[in-house]
């Protein structure tokens, strides 16, 4: 995962096959399964830092137990994607590595399990096809609106109105399509955006809270600590050590 620095232009190749290049900013994640080869070049900021996490196959098989033995799953490579849960798990691992204590190993293992489960879910493994969700067009539109989070209030009523459905139908269909309630999904995106701003800007925590759509700086501080285990101020300090 990119911790600092951005790659704005370049080329990516997976197993010799050129794939579409996506700009990678702080928080972007690259997933390369064992046996795949990722090469290429990029240009952007002069300096950068990255977190590399490697998970052994035995760890995954032990975690998934019988499901892994009876239904072998191969996750595809993914270069430069964003996901709030994966990013939060990786950020907490980075924090533990910077300031380890006797409990850090257990915390890192716990976060590794969370990010691996989320990767499996993102790729639809072990999931039966679900009915009653949003159409691909409506889901894409909803995610675009959520992705453009700003200081403006984004309400479920506004999302439902944009798609021409009731608020109840939108909430139910969104969860069917993503596995998360709209509230949980939006909260993840706000925290994802705020962590990036803490790393890359000098804005105060209050300014970042308002920019990311939190009702107050205290609400932001509580939500951030619950997600990352540290306050926004401490997170920024550790990222800049």
Residue ranges of domains in the chain, CATH in brackets: 2-122 (no CATH), 136-239 (1.10.10.60)
Write down the pTM of the prediction: 0.62
Q: How far is 231 from 191, CA to CA, in rounded Å?
A: 12
Instruction: Identify which of 185, 109, 196 has the alpha carbon closest to the alpha carbon of residue 145.
Output: 185
Three-state SS at 25: coil
Angstrom distances, CA of residue 226 to CA of 6, 75, 138, 216, 223: 27, 29, 31, 16, 5
Q: What angle do CA 160, 217, 237 make, to 5 degrees?
A: 120
Q: What is the pLDDT of residues 174-228, one digit of tens each?
A: 988 888 889 888 888 888 888 888 888 889 999 999 888 888 889 999 999 888 8
Q: What is the pLDDT of residues 59-71, one digit of tens each?
A: 888 877 655 554 5
Region 154-159: what's the mean pLDDT?
A: 83
**Torsion on CA atoms 168, 170, 174, 175, rounded to nearest 10:** 0
Mean pLDDT of all residues in 127-145: 73
Task: Summarize pLDDT for 227-236 with one digit per residue, the tens.
Answer: 888 899 988 8
């Amino acid at each position: 995962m990119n911790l600092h620095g951005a790659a704005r232009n370049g080329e990516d190749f997976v197993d010799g096959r050129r794939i579409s290049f996506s700009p990678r900013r702080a928080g972007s994640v690259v997933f390369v399964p064992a046996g795949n080869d990722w090469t290429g070049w990029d240009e952007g900021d002069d300096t950068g830092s990255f977190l590399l996490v490697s998970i052994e196959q035995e760890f995954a098989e032990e975690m998934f137990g019988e499901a892994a033995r009876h239904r072998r799953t191969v996750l595809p490579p993914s270069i430069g994607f964003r996901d709030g849960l994966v990013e939060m798990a990786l950020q907490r691992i980075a924090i533990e590595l910077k300031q380890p204590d006797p409990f850090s190993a257990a915390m890192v293992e716990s976060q590794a399990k969370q990010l691996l489960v989320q990767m499996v879910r993102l790729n639809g493994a072990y999931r039966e096809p679900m009915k009653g969700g949003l159409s691909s067009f409506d889901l894409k539109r909803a995610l675009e609106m959520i992705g453009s989070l700003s200081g403006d209030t984004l309400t479920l009523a506004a999302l439902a109105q944009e798609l021409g459905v009731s608020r109840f139908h939108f909430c139910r269909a969104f969860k069917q399509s993503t596995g998360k309630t709209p509230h949980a999904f939006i909260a993840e995106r706000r925290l994802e955006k705020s962590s990036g701003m803490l790393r890359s800007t000098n804005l105060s925590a209050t300014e970042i809270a308002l920019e990311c759509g939190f009702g107050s700086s205290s609400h932001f501080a509580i939500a951030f600590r619950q997600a990352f285990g540290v306050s926004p101020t401490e997170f920024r300090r550790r990222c800049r050590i």
